[in-house]
Structure 1
Amino acid sequence: MARSWQLWLSRRPLRRTKTPSGPQMLSPNDAALYEFLYEKNGRLTVKETHYADNQTVRDGLSGPPLHIHLRQTEYFRVLQGELGVVRNEKKGVLRKEDGILVIPPGTRHRFWPHTPIKQDLIFHVWAEPPDVDHGFDENYLRNALGYVRDCAQQNIAPSIFQMALFGWSSDTIFICPPFWVPIWILVFAQYVAGHIIGGFLLG
């Protein structure tokens, strides 16, 4: 049971939706569908469909915040539509004919449906190597998406400490300003916010 000072420091949803056990789930505001696809070698590929008729998507807000993967290379392949991408402050647009976009470890990046959106955005995203302990995986996506979705439904801003804890458990840095900061400082800040405050103090 959370104490009052814990709720004051980090509000949390009063009700948690049971995370679906099927091979897909919806993002906050029903903006995007995430489908978990596994290849024969066990590698997870996530197929994301961002719906053009959804207001969150039309506003370009259905993608994740700026973040860094510490040990994995992330790959994107657009199947339909246009994906807006920023890598280390450089913006671009990825289309089907552009092939695969590679995001090396340590790159500050985010992605979103490029606006104005004319059709559903559909793309595949995966990470290599796939066997990094606590890396980009289905468990992390289900937990993080489910938490942010519950916050949106209950009109609660996601806790920075909870998001830092999700990031800490997935080898991903979410305490990531838009300007350059040494990665070791970001790792330390997320360790304090996520592991010590979020995990130890706030439970």
Structure 2
Amino acid sequence: MIRIVIAEDQHMLRGAFASLLQLEEDFEIISQVSGGHEALSMIEACKPDICLLDIEMPGLTGLEVAQTVRDRGWNCKIMIVTTFARPGYLQKAMNAAVDAYLLKDEPIEFLVEAIRRVMQGKRVVSPYLADSLFTHEANPLTEREQEVLRMVSEGGTTRHIAEHLYLTTGTVRNYLSSAIQKLEVETRHHAIEKARDRGWI
């Protein structure tokens, strides 16, 4: 019997996954949760074979849960099931050694087969995303440029960032300008969007 935890913040989708997967004779849904902290608690308490994780959930993201499971050495297969086809997310998932990265618009039969393949020790990626594994784009940003962009994305003002990093406001603006130029976009908003999409911040 393959024991499964489902972590998905959309109630209807979570219930649909559980109902469909429960039809398989060798699957047992042992817990359904809506957030990252709950997912970690259930993985620790129930010791499932597999956890299906969405990426964007309350508390911790699916990627953060995956990394924590790996860091703690827990013996649980991790499958990301998401709407996000961003290469950056996929790269972060691969860095966290997830066992599968699937898109939610795949047929349920694909998910069922993927679960069985993962239990056999294989890694599964949605075919639509497979090409991006071989087209990894080099990050043109310096660590400081990434840090400044990340802080702007979290709502930091130029003055706040300057004080936090012990820089002048002019230097912070220079880092932002350099990042915008390297990413070949016109605004800091677009720079954040592109860097996040590529997995660089």
State the TM bucket, normalised to the shorter chain.
Answer: under 0.3
TM-score calculated relative to the size of structure 2: 0.24
Q: Which has the higher helix share?
A: 2
| Higher relative strand content | 1
Return the index of the structure with the highest Cα Rg: 2
RCO comparison, higher one (Cα < 8 Å, 6+): 1
TM-score normalised by the chain length of structure 1: 0.24
